[in-house]
Amino acid sequence: MKSLKKQRRIQVIMLATAALVVSTALIGYAMREGINFFRSPSQVVAEPPVETEVFRIGGLVEEGSIVRGQGETVRFSVTDGGASVPVAFTGVLPDLFTENEGMVGTGRYINGVFQATEILAKHDETYMPKEVVDALKEQGVYKGSDES
């Protein structure tokens, strides 16, 4: 009788473990398109990602780099003080998007240009995404308060 209970307990534990593994795999599979890793411009230049990888890049919009083309395409460069990456974005930029201000873009790095599908700009005078602050501090060009 005791060995039957022990065997049943082992079966329940094995079934629960299998269910956990399957559910974790399904969640990971479902989220594979939604996970975007952050990179600074220096990281992108040092190790360019493959063209199919969607990721986020952040830094400061380089002064004098904003070029508004014909249509809705805007070109500019994003820098972290160590490297600059050219960015092309088709769409309407946020109202707070200006030179020498923080931004984060989502997209792909294709033929040396970051093709952005989304651009986010800071939402007030003091906020900057933590990843951008960390990248700027790493390059020694962060000029803000240490509050995050």
Q: Where are the domains of the chain?
A: 1-35, 37-139
Superfamily for domain range 37-139? Nucleic acid-binding proteins (2.40.50.140)
pLDDT bucket at 135, cuts 50 / 70 / 90: confident
User: What's the angle, vertex CA 129, arms to CA 135 and CA 104, rounded to 5?
Assistant: 80
What is the model's pLDDT at position 147? 47
Q: Express each pLDDT in 72-130 by its tens digit.
A: 889 999 998 889 999 999 988 888 888 888 889 999 999 999 999 999 886 555 556 67
Contacts of 94 (CB under 8 A, 6+ apart): 119, 120, 121
CA 84, chain centre distance (Å): 16
Q: Can you give the pTM of this predicted structure?
A: 0.64
User: What's the angle, vertex CA 122, arms to CA 116 and CA 128, rounded to 5?
Assistant: 105
What end-to-end distance do the CA atoms of the chain give, in Å?
61
44 φ/ψ angles, rounded to the nearest 5 degrees: -65, -45
**Is residue 148 scored above 50 in pLDDT?**
no
